[in-house]
Structure 1
C-alpha cells in the first residue's frame, strides 16, 4: 500500500506543486483546502496518479472542522504517514494596518492549524513505520520583515517544529520545516520580482517545484537523519541580506 500523505493548502501555488510531486512518486494523497472549486480542479489534474487523491475541503481556522477532518480521513482513507502543513495566510500590512482580527486569523492558519492537525494525527504518526511532518515556514521567521503578523506566525511555526520533537521522541517520525524565499505564486507580489532577483545570488527566485522537491526529500528515507530543523530555500538571498531591505 502506498504511503498516505495529507497536504493542506493543496489548491495554492506551492500546494499544487507539492501535490504533483507526491502524486508522481505514487503516494495516496489527501488534498485539503478551503477553496473547494480550486481543490477539485487540482485533483482532476492528478487523479490518475497511482496512489489516488482524496479531496477534502476544510476551514482550518475552525478547530471543530479539523477534528471532523481527522475522523473523515481515518474513516475513508486510513492512517496518515506524512503530514505536510502547506496552507498559509499572508496579510500585506504593517503593524498600523493590522487589526486584532487579522492578527488572529494569521496565527490561526499559520500556527494553530498545524498544531491541531498534528494533534489530530499524532497517534498515526507515532505508530507508522516511517512518519514525516513537514511544516511550511518562511524566511520571514528569521529576518526582519515589514509584515509583522506573517513574520511572527512563521517564527512561531519554526519554533513549534523544533518543540514537537518531544512528542515524537523515540519514534520513526521526523518533524521539519521549509522556509521558502520569494516564489512565483499568488501569495507573492511578483511586480517586485526584478528587485528580488537582483538580491538573490542564484540569479533567480525559487520556484514552487524547488520547494516541493525539498519537501519530498524531507519525506524520504534518505532524510531520516534530519529532524527538528528548518531548511531555507531562497537561492542564497538571506545568507547575506534580506529581501525586505529598503
Structure 2
C-alpha cells in the first residue's frame, strides 16, 4: 500500500495528450497514478515525469479492449499501488470515415476502444471503487456524442459512452461512487484535424479551440471531494460551439 491509502487513480490513454495532462493534474491533487496506454513506452514516459515530480506513479502497457487484460490490470494496480478510488477513461480513437467508407472491422474497433474498454475497466475496478472512501469514474466522451456528426462510428461510440455513464448509477447506487463524463469539442491533441482548426476556432464563441488543460481542469474538479453532488452528468466543454453552431 502506498502512503496515499485509498487515493489511487487509473488513467487510460495516459501516454500523451489529454491523458498525460489528466494524469499530471491528478498527481498534483495528491493521488498516486497508474498510467495506462497501449503504447507502453509512452505510458512509462508519463509515469517517469510524474515520479520525477514526487508523484507515485506506475506504467502499464495494456490493450484495454481485452477482458482478461482488464482483469489483470486491476490485480496489478491493486498490488502495486493499492485500492483504486478513481478510474478515468481517456483513451479513444477516431476514424474519419463516412458510412460508405466504414467497414465492420473499423466499426467494431472504434466501439471496442471507446465503449467496451470503459465498460470492462469499470467492471474490473468496481469492487475497489465501492470500497473506497469515495470513488470516481470519469469518462471522456465527445460533443459528437450529443448530436449528429459526420463520422458515424465515432459519434455512435461516444453517444453510447454517455448513456453508459448515466446507466452506471444503478450499479453504484447507495455507494460513495459517482460516475460522470466530459464531452470535449475540438481540442489540440493528436486527434485534431489541423487543416480545419482555424475554421473551428472561428465558429467557437470564445474564438479558440480547446487546450487539453481546459478539459483536464474539469476532470480535476470531478475527481475531488467537492464534486460529490455531481453524478450521472455529461459536461460539454467546447467554448459554446455546439450550443449555437456546428463545426461543419
Q: Report whether the alignment pairs 1:184 with 2:195.
A: no
Cα deviations across residues 3-27 of structure 1 (Å, max 9, x unaligned)? Answer: 1000000013110110111122221
Partner of 1:6: helix, strand, or coil? Answer: strand
Partner of 1:108: helix, strand, or coil? Answer: helix
Unaligned stretches of 5+ in structure 2?
none
Q: Give runs of ≥4 in structure 1 deviating > 3 Å.
A: none
Corresponding residue of 1:204 = 208
- How far apart are the structure 2 equivalents of 1:205 and 1:129? 37
Q: Report whether the alignment pairs 1:80 with 2:84.
A: yes
Corresponding residue of 2:108 = 104
Corresponding residue of 1:242 = 246
Alpha carbon RMSD of aligned pairs, Å?
A: 1.0
The correspondence for 2:49, drawn from 45, 66, 70, is 45
Cα deviations across residues 132-176 of structure 1 (Å, max 9, x unaligned)? Answer: 100000000012211100000000000000000001111111000
Does the CA contact (< 8 Å) of 1:23 and 1:49 recur in 2? no
Cα deviations across residues 33-79 of structure 1 (Å, max 9, x unaligned)? Answer: 00111112222222134441110110112211111111111222211
TM-score for both structures, normalised by structure 2: 0.96
Unaligned stretches of 5+ in structure 1?
none
TM-score for both structures, normalised by structure 1: 0.97
Does the CA contact (< 8 Å) of 1:143 and 1:242 recur in 2? no
Corresponding residue of 1:92 = 96
- How far apart are the structure 1 equivalents of 2:27 and 2:225? 17
User: How many residues are aligned here?
Assistant: 244
- How far apart are the structure 1 equivalents of 2:27 and 2:224? 14
